[in-house]
Structure 1
């Protein structure tokens, strides 16, 4: 039993410890780049996106559309840099909850359907980043270390 635990749990854990910086970095770059682009596309086409927000029943669409588009753009950029990751990730997780409720809820007929939405996957990644942070390959980590050196 010890040999099996060593092979399947402890050995991979020791190897992975050398690459802990990579998981958050890959997640931040992938979702950050995606949301930077979608945020920019929304900012570049605000009138049409405002109409979408209206059709989904989102209140104050003239105010919330540029706010959400800007949050997606700047949030995506910040995530790629690993800057303010917990705040930006938490905010983007909330945006995904609102997206699911406003644009997708009518399509939900099972847990499988709900979890199959890409917004649910984004929500999971943003929540993880908001809780666990940006990791060592980030500006957050650099700023934390610089501050603790004082």
Structure 2
């Protein structure tokens, strides 16, 4: 039974399922955080002040970027649509949180209720999807199959140097 599970095809299916679970879990968390930022009383303007207080550069742009990136990026992750691009944007948001909001904080909750662990694991999840892509259970995969492999503009060079003139 174990030997059947470890076939290349089953490994690929397991990897695809694992990436789907990761995309859905991370996407749901990002959506919840982004929606919270967008729907709170005072809207994103409240976050502008919070970002300013944390020393985040250009908070008037960073706060809406963070809120919309988390909300829309989370949706994109779940769908597996523009996964690598969405993941990259989410890595930027989480890197900002680690650098400006949680510098020097322990991974687990500190006395004041803060910690860097959450931002770190969310950054790692997003980076994993940037590096691996979404897997085969994703809109990106379906679109890739419909569009087909990318063609290069380079001419075929096979045999050009071996011909006698």
Q: Alignment RMSD, CA only?
A: 2.2
Is the 8 Å Cα contact of residues 85 and 130 (structure 2) preserved in structure 1? Answer: yes
CA distance in 2, matches of 1:132, 1:118: 21
| Match in the other structure for 1:143 | 143
| Match in the other structure for 2:36 | 41
2:103 partner SS: helix
1:22 aligns with 2:17: yes
Deviation at 1:33, TM superposition (A): 1.1
1:85 aligns with 2:83: yes
Superposed CA deviations along residues 44-75 of structure 1, whole A, max 9, x for unmatched, are 23122112101100111122111111111110
Task: For structure 1, list consecutive stretches of 5 or more residues without a partner in the other structure.
Answer: 1-6
| Match in the other structure for 1:57 | 55
The alignment covers a number of residue pairs equal to 138
Tell me which protein shows more helix as a share of its residues: 1
CA distance in 1, matches of 2:55, 2:4: 52
Tell which structure's C-alpha radius of gyration is larger: 2
TM-score w.r.t. structure 2 length? 0.75
Task: For structure 2, list consecutive stretches of 5 or more residues without a partner in the other structure.
Answer: 109-114, 151-165
CA distance in 1, matches of 2:12, 2:76: 25
CA distance in 2, matches of 1:60, 1:126: 23
1:107 partner SS: coil
Is the 8 Å Cα contact of residues 88 and 126 (structure 2) preserved in structure 1? Answer: yes
| Match in the other structure for 1:99 | 97
Deviation at 1:40, TM superposition (A): 1.3
Deviation at 1:119, TM superposition (A): 1.1
